[in-house]
Structure 1
Amino acid sequence: MNEVFDTRQVRRAFSRSAQGYEAAAALQREVESRLLESLDYLEDRQPQIVVDLGCGPGRASAAMRKRWPKARVLALDLALPMLREAKKQGGWWRSFDRVCADARALPLADASVDVLFSNLCVQWIEDLPTLFAEFRRVLKPGARLLVSSFGPETLIELRAAFARADSAPHVSPFASIAQFGDAMVQAGFRDPVLDRDLFVPGYPDLAALMRELRALGATNALRTRRHTLTGRARFAAAASAYEAERRSDGLLPATWEVLYAQAWAPPPGAPIRIGGYEVTAVPLDRIPIRRR
């Protein structure tokens, strides 16, 4: 299968942005805060193993360690420099483990995780059915999954402006809320709840928006991206096209669509839907053997 995203480019971009990420990540912190509020629905449950997937600088890892002081919190990220930044969030009273890992192949045992939390990470993975199947594999039956991602309306103004200046894509495509729901159902997750927010901050010019995107590591990670620098003429043409979007407050809008997905892991043997058919996995020790 031809992959949409270049995983090495994603890793490079977030590695480069690690030290300045926290200062630029106001939106990411707001989304993280809203996702953390969803943990209140766990009521008095005391998880043993909690995973913060795509942990970035580790704010959510530290918050969950503080919330559940007896739990083991695993902070996972594709970019090793991000994990070095995450270490700064720890301390003897809220320490957590840091693991460099790819979300598509988690280095975790089957049915070992009580809470899997992932804030604005999974938008860089196009194969959602396989991703959610991997989430199901590592979650205990009845465990909680909480995920946020960017949706397809993210940076629609920037996408349109560059489309008028250049035939090469400049903005990554992100999955829709319907695709998220389908992937969760296919993987067998129970009681899925999906929601969305639209954030539309303003910027004085295109250059300011592009600087923020670089600081966040949110650069073009498409395999089909142009591998040379955007020339002055193309950038000027995009900036000119973007001017049509300038608001009454004098700023250029940049839409960020955020999707939220929550669900419970199914019991053992619950079917996974593949190609429209239900496929059930039954542990070998549960298959009766007739002896003659």
Structure 2
Amino acid sequence: MTPKVNKQAVAQAFGRAAQSYNHHAQLQRLCGDRLMSLTDVSGYRQVLDAGCGSGWFSQRWRERGFQVTALDLSPAMLAEAESGQVAHHYLQGDIDALPLPDGAVDLCWSNLAVQWCDDLQHAVNQLCRVTRAGGKVLFSTLAADSLSEVRAAWRQLDAAQHVNHFLSVEQIAGACAGKNLQLSQQRLTLAFPDVLAAMRSLKGIGATHLHQGRSAGLMTRQRLQQLEQFWPRDGRGCLLSYHLVFGVISL
């Protein structure tokens, strides 16, 4: 069982990353570009960007002529999006309890956000609820073997959990059971010059919050050197691998 998500702590983690988010969000952009390419959305007009972050894809949807509502759990992240005028409407809210009426939008878009929800099935049902009949829900998330390098390196140093648990592909599919779903996958590996850069990339997108809490203690220079020793790498540098899962639900 996934621990109940501390939404306030998640919002704070992403809020701290708000101003640096776009600088570090290579994964989000690559993932979102793939998700955008998976289905035809011509004829649709209203889109909800659920978990908009700093609004990179809200802006993309707006440039394509959509009426965009940007929603995020983090007030600081939403303020960053609003400062860029990326959308037409801004809502602070939770995907687990979307503050919109049934059938409010033609298209629901959620790029790498639903892994922060309490229950994926409930989150998907919420996205479907606010999407009109004939509309579509597009979402992406991380599967269980993502960030294997982080686990492998830390496993040499202690027994603590340093990466959140992600659902398997089968569990993700099961959360969408009974829906007209197209599911696809992609494995993506990013490389960084050193461990510090890899960890900064995770922190820079707010992805360092652990649901079960973090053990006390600072990241010392010695600890960093030990991680550097054990962190998987190739000729490009220190690696961070992601198993991306994309869902398109037609309503």
Work out whether the TM-score is over 0.5.
yes
SS in structure 1 at match of 2:37: helix
Q: Which residue among 162, 167, 191 is the counterpart of 2:159? A: 167
Letter in 1 for 2:98: L
Letter in 2 for 1:31: C
Distance, in Å, in 1 between the alignment partners of 2:8 and 2:217 is 17
Indicate yes or no: 2:14 matched with 1:27.
Answer: no
Q: Which residue among 78, 82, 86 is the counterpart of 1:83? A: 78
Asked whether the 8 Å contact 1:55–1:75 carries over to 2, the reply is yes
Letter in 2 for 1:73: V
TM-score by length of 1: 0.79
Give the 3 Å change call, closer, same or farther, for CA 33–2 of structure 1 in structure 2: closer
| C-alpha deviation, 1:231, in angstroms | 5.1
| C-alpha deviation, 1:21, in angstroms | 0.7
Indicate yes or no: 2:119 matched with 1:132.
Answer: no
| C-alpha deviation, 1:8, in angstroms | 2.1
| C-alpha deviation, 1:221, in angstroms | 2.1
Q: List alignment gaps of at least 5 residues for structure 1.
A: 266-292
SS in structure 2 at match of 1:107: coil
Letter in 2 for 1:127: D
Q: Which residue among 223, 242, 247 is the counterpart of 2:212? A: 223
CA-based RMSD of the aligned residues comes to: 2.1
Q: Percent identity?
A: 33
Letter in 1 for 2:59: A
Letter in 2 for 1:121: A
| C-alpha deviation, 1:3, in angstroms | 2.7
**Where in structure 2 are the equivalents of 1:256-271 lying within 5 Å?**
256-265=242-251
1:206 alignment counterpart: 195
- The answer to which of 130-139 and 230-239 deviates more is 230-239
Larger radius of gyration: 1
Indicate yes or no: 2:249 matched with 1:254.
Answer: no
Asked whether the 8 Å contact 1:169–1:224 carries over to 2, the reply is no
1:36 alignment counterpart: 36
Asked whether the 8 Å contact 1:136–1:189 carries over to 2, the reply is no
Q: Which residue among 97, 107, 112 is the counterpart of 2:89? A: 97
Number of aligned residue pairs: give it: 251
1:119 alignment counterpart: 111
- The answer to which of 163-172 and 14-23 deviates more is 163-172
2:169 alignment counterpart: 177
Distance, in Å, in 2 between the alignment partners of 1:246 and 1:226 is 26
**Where in structure 2 are the equivalents of 1:236-255 lying within 5 Å?**
236-242=225-231, 245-247=232-234, 249=235, 251-255=237-241
Q: Deviations over 1:210-242 (max 9, x none)?
A: 111111111032224324434555444333222
Asked whether the 8 Å contact 1:59–1:89 carries over to 2, the reply is no
Asked whether the 8 Å contact 2:71–2:93 carries over to 1, the reply is yes
Letter in 2 for 1:177: V
Give the 3 Å change call, closer, same or farther, for CA 116–61 of structure 1 in structure 2: same
Letter in 2 for 1:252: C
1:284 alignment counterpart: none
Asked whether the 8 Å contact 1:177–1:194 carries over to 2, the reply is no
Q: List alignment gaps of at least 5 residues for structure 2.
A: none
Give the 3 Å change call, closer, same or farther, for CA 229–254 of structure 1 in structure 2: same
Distance, in Å, in 2 between the alignment partners of 1:95 and 1:118 is 15
Distance, in Å, in 1 between the alignment partners of 2:98 and 2:8 is 17
Give the 3 Å change call, closer, same or farther, for CA 227–116 of structure 1 in structure 2: farther
Distance, in Å, in 2 between the alignment partners of 1:19 and 1:95 is 18
SS in structure 2 at match of 1:210: helix
Letter in 2 for 1:223: Q
Give the 3 Å change call, closer, same or farther, for CA 126–177 of structure 1 in structure 2: farther
Q: Which residue among 197, 216, 230 is the counterpart of 2:186? A: 197
Letter in 2 for 1:117: W
